[in-house]
């Protein structure tokens, strides 16, 4: 069935029922809702008349008015996220009015809090049988991160955010509960106002320079692109809920196998409206600078690739401060303007917002700028139809320097310090060179690199979402969302003809236009909970979702520039173009039945069936169940409830997952040999491809003590993925192919999440809140397809011979490499001829694991009168980081550790002389002096640069804000925010948060592989907020 047919049937279904008159009357209920603790008015509370569809929202002053109430005794309920629900019975006179005020208690973290769950449903915390955690939009916006994903680290137990680097527009990957997929994405599904939002990071395989296995492709190493979730303006987020496991996210299906991040955007509210403006200005600088030795000069001056094994520098040699001089103080400004409001009875509300962000980088020419325009309006058309339309437009413009091998950092480090690097051009305007080497062999001067090479992308995106809620019956409603998420991303990457990377092709320019469209329709029919007996109630929902995703990338690459400085494909002699289309369609049907017994024992039973286009048709339909239960024991046993509240929950879910498009059927591709011709691509057939399944179970408890001033939320979970699809796995070429996509891996993830909330101080003018999120997770590979010995992603093999290889029994984040050979006793094997240790010539495991032992996010909020101080500290313990940059510097004689080059030493180990595994191996006694035998450092194993058990304590953000007294401006406040001001770590490199690839790389990617990567800078923000 074509999508438009689906839509038309849907439209028909919606038009099929005419306006329903739900017993309307003439009575009016009005009142005011206040905070029970402070007496302050509470806005945005949904007040409903039970058994009807009529209701209203409170405005700024906390008042509400419900008209058209049938006379008699009516039950009135209130719901507001963050507050306990309220209920009262009002007697409404005919054609008269009744008044009912409510005093609601703020119940953050308590069982009665109303929370958003899967599919945008709201429920009380007590009924949840699964783990989820929410973050307020204001808290995210307050961090002043351009990419809101970066604000989540430490704020949610189990969430790990890794930014690829510290440059503006760098991609950030987010994983919940660790790495379970060996080759596929481990990132969660993003849901915005009920529909999926694309969070793709552009993969370099869509570039024409990757076409036909060219020799000048980037392989997700040399360039990075923004993850598209960053298009969302943090100021537009009302709340964000993280559904951590398949148990919570099962209703979202396939794409939520790694959890889901459910975002609700802001809407206008009665009374609060008007014009609001806020801004932020930031200065950023590099925290830690790299260090290189200034004792020994270059060897083979002029003809080497900057090796520093030469004679000591003469006394009085002038050194230039190239490294410090290179970095800028980055300046960023942000302006947000919002205009919002609502009718007094809140039947119609609107919010229009615009935002401008201009971010500079510490590396010259790096920048990220973004314009957001959003509009959202909601209307209660009549008593049973509610319409909600939101549209957001984003323009993002990013300009990045290269990273890794061809990036400016490597050039900066190896550039002779005796040369003034910032003169990067000759008087004739061409690249100034220092060696007689071919231009492709001499490392780019960093200034030349950032001035002449670039990676630029511009993204235009529209997300539109129409939500229709019909409430034809008092006992249920039908909610349909129709939306599209469409963007065009234009990428332009220049490798200048004179640059190291561009020289052998006389310049390379890549352009790629990605038109991505994701159309979504989701319909949920909700049956409200109703009493079956005095003690048992039942509720249900059934729904479906249709997703149609298509990306078409038109890419071309031009080489051989005519005019070296004119940037256009038109300026090239040799051009190749390619179109890459990727399409996937998904249909899901799902349902849930919820039972509760006396409001303290809850049982939810979920089921979903998905039909996907990417699995062979015989197996493309698959069903999976979920069940969760919650037991509020403090209500069941009031004796306990007197001094604490508590519940335990348990959940079990399975979730299926499909393959990427076109995985199982091989296709031919154009071959770049003479006279064209077709041949198969790398991937062989696998007609037996079937969906993979994750089976997950979790057990948790939520406890509060001392009148909610202390709360604990603890979860343990175990997820096992079977029949996991491993992409791009090699076989013998005798198959006729090079790579396969195979089922057959088994991985297991288990862990503990703990959230502690406390309010040590709570006085009239002073309060102190603490939230600590603790997470310990571990992913292990149990099996690989066809008993293959190793699975790895070749993009991660980016420096020397270390890569993210894993094998049965190893962590999903292990590293394999050409590590040192050892005898059975574990001693290094030493070559009897050179006296140097011997290295494996195949990839072996030596127990290196990038998985942290645990992480802690500790946030403190201190309020005193009008001032608020909040800070988030991110702590990690354990996990290995490969400092490839340091290896690079060591092999080149630049690292400080090579200063001992003249000290003779004997490498401890045993000679490989045939006796190495006997009881009396020959101890090595061969003396080597690195200055003479430069192989000592040149061929040193990468193993010595994998830094074990890296810990850090990072002050992620700290904000001091001060609310000005009400005066000319409403709600005016000033703030200062510091980002990443402090980093304490045992890591010797610049920043242990690093990804040698980008967020586009699947599996464990190259997280923790640090090569030529810029660190996250220290930032200092200030600004103000005000309303008119």
Partner 1 sequence: MIKRRVVLIAGFVTLFGGCSDFLDVNTNPNGPETVASNVYLPPMLHWLVAGSQWDGRYIGLYTQEWVSTVVNAAPATTFGRMGYDPGNDNSGQQWRDVYYTSGQNLVDMMRIAQAEERWDILGLGYIIKAWGWQQLADLHGEIIVAEAIDQTKFTFKYDTQEYAFAEVRKLLDSAVVYLSRTDGVVDAAYMARGDKIYNGDRLKWLKFAHGLRAINLGHYTNKASYDPAAVIASVDLSFVGNADDALLQFEFNSALNDARNMQGPTRANFGNYRQSAFVVDLMDGTVFGVPDPRISRMLAPSPDGGPYQGLSPNDAGIGALTPVAVARRPATPYNNATAGAGLYLFDDRARHPAMTYSQLQFIKAEAAFRMGNRTLALAAYRNAIDAHITFVNSRITDGGQAPPPITAAERAAFLAAPTVVPTEANLTLTHILSQKYIAQWAWGHNELWTDMRRVHYTDIDPATGAQYYPGFVPVTPLYAANGGKLVYRFRPRYNSEYIWNIPSLEEIGGTALDYQTKPTWIIEP
Near partner 1 in 431-450, by CB under 8 A: 438
Residue pair 893/930 in contact (Cβ under 8 Å)? The answer is: no
Please classify residue 992 by burial: count the beta carbons closer than 10 Å to its beta carbon, then call 0-12 exposed, 13-18 middle and 19+ buried.
buried
* Binding flag, residue 310, partner 1 (CB under 8 A): no
**How many alpha carbons lie under 13 Å from residue 407 in its C-beta half-sphere?**
27
**Is the CB of 10 or the CB of 352 nearer to partner 1?**
10
Instruction: Pick out residues in 185-244 that bind partner 1 (CB under 8 A).
Output: 214-215
Is the Cβ of residue 72 or residue 677 nearer to partner 1 in the bound state? 677
Q: Is 311 in the site for partner 1 (CB under 8 A)?
A: no
Nearby residues of 477 by Cβ (< 8 Å), 6 or more positions away: 53, 469, 470, 471, 525, 526, 528
Q: Which residue, among 647, 627, 741, has the nearest Cα to 695 in the 3D structure?
A: 627
DSSP SS3 for 311: coil
Binding region for partner 1 (CB under 8 A) out of 308-316, 321-329, 415-423, 678-686: 678-686
- Give, as one character, the DSSP assignment of residue 1007: B
Toward partner 1, which CB reaches closer, 422 or 613? 613
Q: Is 807 in the site for partner 1 (CB under 8 A)?
A: no
Is 617 a binding residue for partner 1 by CB under 8 A? The answer is: yes
* Residue 281 CB, nearest approach to partner 1 (Å): 46
For residue 837, count other CB atoms closer than 10 A to its CB. 25
Binding string, residues 399-438; x marks residues near partner 1 by CB under 8 A: ---------------------------------------x
The binder of partner 1 chosen from 320, 339, 393, 662 (CB under 8 A): 662
For strand 189-192 and strand 260-265, is the pairing parallel, antiparallel, or unpaired?
Answer: parallel
Among 789, 809, 847, 904, binds partner 1 (CB under 8 A): 789
Interaction of residue 738 with partner 1, rule CB under 8 A: yes
**Sequence-separated (6 or more) residues with CB below 8 Å from residue 940:** 887, 890, 891
Nearest to 801, CA basis, from 852, 839, 767, 752 = 839
Smallest separation (angstroms) from partner 1 to the CB of 473: 7
Q: Which stretch binds partner 1 (CB under 8 A): 349-357, 404-412, 416-424, 683-691?
A: 683-691
Does the footprint of partner 1 cover residue 10 (CB under 8 A)?
yes
Interface residue with partner 1, options 678, 824, 903, 967 (CB under 8 A)? 678
Say whether residue 569 binds partner 1 (CB under 8 A): no
- Asked if 315 touches partner 1 (CB under 8 A), the answer is no
Stretch that binds partner 1, among 52-60, 139-147, 390-398, 572-580 (CB under 8 A): 572-580
Nearest approach, Cβ of residue 659 and partner 1 (Å): 10
Q: How far is CA 804 from the centre of its chain?
A: 20
Among 314, 618, 638, 675, interactor with partner 1 by CB under 8 A: 675
Q: Binding of partner 1 at residue 473 (CB under 8 A)?
A: yes
Binder to partner 1 among 534, 765, 841, 925 (CB under 8 A)? 841
Q: Which is nearer to partner 1, 217 or 1013 (CB)?
A: 217
Pattern of binders to partner 1 over 527-546, x per CB under 8 A?
-----------------x-x
Which is closer to partner 1, CB of 35 or CB of 669?
A: 669
Applying CB under 8 A, among 281, 597, 611, 1020 the residue interacting with partner 1 is 611
DSSP character at residue 269:
-
Pick left, alpha or beta for residue 193 (phi over 0 → left; psi -120 to 50 → alpha; otherwise beta). left
Binding residue for partner 1 (CB under 8 A) from 674, 765, 824, 925? 674
Q: In whole angstroms, what is the distance from residue 289 CA to residue 377 CA?
A: 49
Query: What is the Cα–Cα distance from 186 to 779, expressed in whole angstroms?
Result: 12
Closest to 166 in 3D by CA, of 1005, 983, 986? 983
SS3 state of residue 812: coil
Taking the complex as a whole, the smallest distance from the CB of residue 670 to partner 1 amounts, in Å, to: 7
Least distance to partner 1, CB of residue 132, Å: 28
| Residue 626 structure tokens | 């979920």
Q: How far is the CB of 668 from partner 1 (least distance, A)?
A: 5
Q: What angle do CA 558, 563, 564 make, to 5 degrees?
A: 80
Least gap, CB of 738 to partner 1 (angstroms): 6
* Piece in contact with partner 1 (CB under 8 A), picked from 580-588, 594-602, 883-891, 917-925: 580-588
d(CA 645, CA 18): 46
What part of residues 474-533 is at the interface with partner 1 (CB under 8 A)? 478, 504, 523, 525
Per the structure block, which two tokens stand in for 696? Answer: 């997950």
Minimum distance of partner 1 from residue 304's CB (angstroms): 11
Listed ranges 612-620, 628-636, 807-815, 987-995: which one lies at the site for partner 1 (CB under 8 A): 612-620
Q: Write b or e for each residue in 104-135: b if 16 or more Cβ atoms lie within 10 A of its Cβ, otherwise e.
A: bebbbbbbebbbbbbbbbebbbbbbbbbbbbb
Question: d(Cα 120, Cα 600) in Å, to the nearest integer?
Answer: 23
Rg (CA), the chain: 31
H-run or E-run covering 322? helix 322-326
Of the pair 20, 644, the CB lying nearest partner 1 is at: 20
Name the 3-class secondary structure at 254.
helix
Q: How many CA atoms lie within 13 A of 122 on its CB side?
A: 16
Phi/psi of residue 614, each to 5°? -95, 0
| DSSP character at residue 4 | H
- Draw the binding track, 583-602, toward partner 1 (x: CB under 8 A; -: no contact): xxx-x-x-------------
Work out whether 676 is an interface residue with partner 1 (CB under 8 A).
yes
Q: Closest approach of Cβ 256 to partner 1, in Å?
A: 20
State in angstroms the smallest separation of the CB of 725 from partner 1: 15
Q: Pick the piece of the chain touching partner 1 (CB under 8 A) from 182-190, 487-495, 727-735, 945-953.
A: 727-735
CB of 618 to partner 1, least distance (A): 12
- Cα 832 to the chain's mean position, in Å? 50
- Residue pair 118/252 in contact (Cβ under 8 Å)? The answer is yes
Query: What phi and psi values does residue 649 have, to the nearest 5 degrees?
Result: -140, 155
- Site for partner 1 contains 618 (CB under 8 A): no
Residue 436 CA to residue 40 CA, distance in Å, equals 76
Q: Which stretch binds partner 1 (CB under 8 A): 80-88, 365-373, 726-734, 959-967?
A: 726-734
Among 574, 899, 906, 984, the residue binding partner 1 under the rule CB under 8 A is 574
Provide the minimum distance between the beta carbon of 70 and partner 1 in the complex, in angstroms, as a whole number.
18
Q: What is the DSSP letter of 838?
A: -
User: Which one of 559, 608, 657, 803 is in contact with partner 1 (CB under 8 A)?
Assistant: 559
3-state secondary structure (DSSP) of residue 715? strand
How many residues make contact with partner 1 (CB under 8 A)?
Answer: 86
* Rounded least distance, CB 17 to partner 1, Å: 4
Closest approach, Cβ 506 to partner 1, in A, equals 10
Q: Does 620 bind partner 1 (CB under 8 A)?
A: yes
Verify binding: residue 300, partner 1, rule CB under 8 A: no
Cβ proximity to partner 1: between 3 and 982 the closer is 3
DSSP, residue by residue, 334-387: EEEEEEEEE-TTSSEEEEEEEEEEEEE-SSTT-EEEEEEEEEEEEEEEETTEEE
Residues constituting the chain: 1028
Nearest approach, Cβ of residue 418 and partner 1 (Å): 25
Tell the smallest beta-carbon distance from residue 846 to partner 1 (Å): 16
């Amino acid at each position: 069935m074509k999508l438009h047919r689906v839509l038309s049937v849907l439209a028909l279904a919606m038009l099929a029922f005419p306006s329903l008159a739900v017993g309307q009357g003439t009575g009016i209920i009005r009142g005011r809702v206040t905070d029970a603790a402070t007496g302050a008015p509470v806005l945005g509370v949904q007040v409903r008349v039970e058994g009807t569809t009529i209701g209203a929202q409170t405005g700024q002053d906390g008042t509400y008015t419900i008209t058209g109430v049938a006379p008699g005794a009516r039950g009135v309920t209130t719901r507001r996220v963050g507050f306990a629900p309220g209920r009262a019975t009002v007697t409404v006179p005919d054609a008269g009015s009744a008044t009912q005020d409510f005093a609601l208690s703020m119940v953050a973290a308590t069982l009665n809090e109303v929370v958003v769950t899967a599919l945008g449903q709201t429920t009380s915390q007590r009924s949840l049988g699964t783990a989820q955690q929410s973050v307020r939009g204001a808290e995210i916006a307050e961090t002043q991160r351009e990419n809101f994903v970066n604000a989540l680290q430490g704020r949610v137990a189990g969430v790990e955010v890794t930014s690829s680097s510290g440059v503006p527009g760098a991609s950030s990957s987010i994983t919940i509960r660790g790495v379970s997929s060996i080759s596929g994405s481990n990132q969660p599904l993003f849901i915005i106002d009920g529909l999926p939002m694309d969070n793709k990071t552009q993969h370099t395989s869509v570039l024409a320079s990757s076409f036909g296995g060219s020799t000048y492709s980037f392989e997700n190493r040399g360039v990075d692109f923004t993850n598209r979730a960053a298009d969302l303006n943090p100021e537009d987020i009302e709340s964000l809920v993280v559904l951590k496991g398949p148990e919570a996210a099962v209703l979202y299906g396939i794409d939520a196998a790694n959890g889901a991040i459910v975002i609700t955007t802001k809407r206008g509210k009665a009374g609060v409206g008007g014009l609001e403006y806020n801004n932020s200005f930031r200065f950023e600088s590099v925290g830690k600078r790299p260090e290189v030795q200034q004792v020994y000069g270059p060897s083979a001056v002029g003809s080497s690739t900057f090796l520093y094994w030469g004679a000591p520098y003469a006394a009085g040699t002038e050194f230039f401060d190239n490294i410090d001089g290179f970095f800028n103080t980055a300046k960023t400004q942000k302006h947000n303007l919002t205009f919002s409001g609502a009718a007094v009875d809140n039947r119609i509300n609107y919010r229009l917002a615009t935002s401008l962000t201009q971010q500079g980088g510490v590396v010259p020419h790096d920048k990220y700028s973004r314009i957001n325009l959003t509009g959202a309006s909601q209307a209660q058309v009549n008593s049973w139809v509610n319409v909600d339309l939101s549209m957001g437009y984003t323009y993002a413009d990013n300009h990045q320097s290269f990273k890794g091998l061809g990036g400016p950092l490597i050039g900066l480090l190896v550039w002779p310090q005796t040369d003034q690097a910032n003169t990067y051009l000759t008087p004739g305007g061409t690249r100034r060179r220092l060696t007689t080497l071919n231009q492709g062999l001499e490392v780019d001067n960093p200034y030349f690199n950032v001035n002449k090479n670039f990676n630029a992308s511009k993204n235009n995106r529209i997300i539109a979402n129409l939500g229709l809620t019909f409430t034809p019956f008092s006992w249920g409603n039908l909610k349909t969302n129709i939306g599209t998420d469409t963007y065009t991303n234009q990428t332009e990457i220049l490798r200048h003809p004179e640059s190291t990377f561009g020289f052998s092709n006389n310049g390379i320019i890549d352009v790629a236009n990605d038109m991505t469209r994701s159309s979504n329709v989701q319909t949920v029919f909700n049956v409200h909970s109703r009493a079956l007996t005095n003690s048992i109630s039942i509720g249900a929902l059934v729904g479906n979702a249709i997703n149609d995703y298509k990306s078409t990338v038109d890419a071309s690459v031009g080489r051989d520039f005519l005019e070296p400085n004119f940037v256009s494909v038109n300026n090239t002699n040799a051009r190749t173009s390619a179109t890459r289309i990727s399409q996937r369609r998904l249909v899901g049907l799902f349902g849930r039945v919820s039972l509760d017994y006396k409001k303290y024992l809850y049982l939810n039973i979920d089921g979903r069936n998905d039909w996907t286009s990417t699995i062979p048709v015989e197996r493309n339909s698959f069903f999976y169940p979920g069940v969760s239960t919650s037991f509020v024991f403090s209500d069941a046993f009031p004796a306990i409830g007197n001094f604490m509240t508590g519940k335990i929950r348990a959940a079990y879910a399975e979730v299926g997952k499909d393959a990427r498009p076109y995985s199982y059927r091989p296709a031919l591709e154009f071959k770049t040999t003479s006279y064209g011709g077709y041949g198969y691509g790398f991937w062989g057939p696998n007609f037996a491809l079937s969906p993979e399944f994750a089976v997950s179970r979790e057990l948790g408890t939520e406890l509060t003590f001392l009148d909610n001033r202390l709360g604990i939320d603890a979860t343990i979970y175990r997820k096992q993925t079977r029949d996991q699809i491993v992409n791009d796995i090699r076989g013998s070429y005798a198959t006729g192919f090079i790579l396969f996509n195979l089922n057959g891996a088994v991985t297991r993830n288990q862990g503990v999440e703990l959230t502690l909330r406390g309010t040590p101080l709570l006085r009239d003018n002073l309060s102190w809140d603490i939230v600590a999120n603790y997470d310990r997770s571990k992913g292990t590979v149990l099996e690989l397809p066809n008993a293959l010995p190793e699975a790895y992603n070749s993009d991660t093999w980016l420096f020397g011979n270390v890569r993210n290889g894993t094998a049965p029994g190893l962590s999903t984040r292990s590293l394999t490499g050409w590590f040192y050979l050892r005898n059975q006793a574990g001693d290094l094997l030493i070559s009897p001829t050179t006296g140097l240790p011997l290295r494996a010539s195949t990839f072996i495991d030596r127990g290196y694991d990038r998985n942290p032992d645990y992480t802690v996010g500790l946030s403190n909020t201190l309020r005193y009168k009008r001032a608020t101080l909040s800070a988030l500290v991110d702590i990690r313990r354990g996990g290995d980081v490969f400092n490839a940059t340091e290896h690079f510097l060591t092999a080149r004689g630049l690292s400080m550790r090579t200063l001992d080059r003249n000290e003779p030493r004997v490498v401890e180990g045993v000679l490989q002389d045939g006796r190495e595994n006997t009881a009396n191996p020959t101890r090595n006694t061969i003396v080597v002096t690195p200055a003479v035998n430069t192989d000592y450092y040149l061929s040193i194993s990468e193993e010595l640069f994998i830094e074990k058990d890296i810990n850090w304590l990072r002050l992620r953000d700290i904000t001091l804000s001060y609310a000005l007294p009400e005066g000319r401006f409403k709600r005016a406040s000033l703030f200062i925010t510091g980002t990443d001001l402090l980093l304490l770590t045992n890591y010797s490199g610049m920043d242990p948060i690093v990804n040698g690839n980008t967020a586009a790389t699947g599996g464990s990617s190259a997280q923790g592989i640090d090569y030529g990567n810029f660190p996250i800078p220290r930032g200092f923000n200030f600004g103000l907020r005000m309303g008119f």
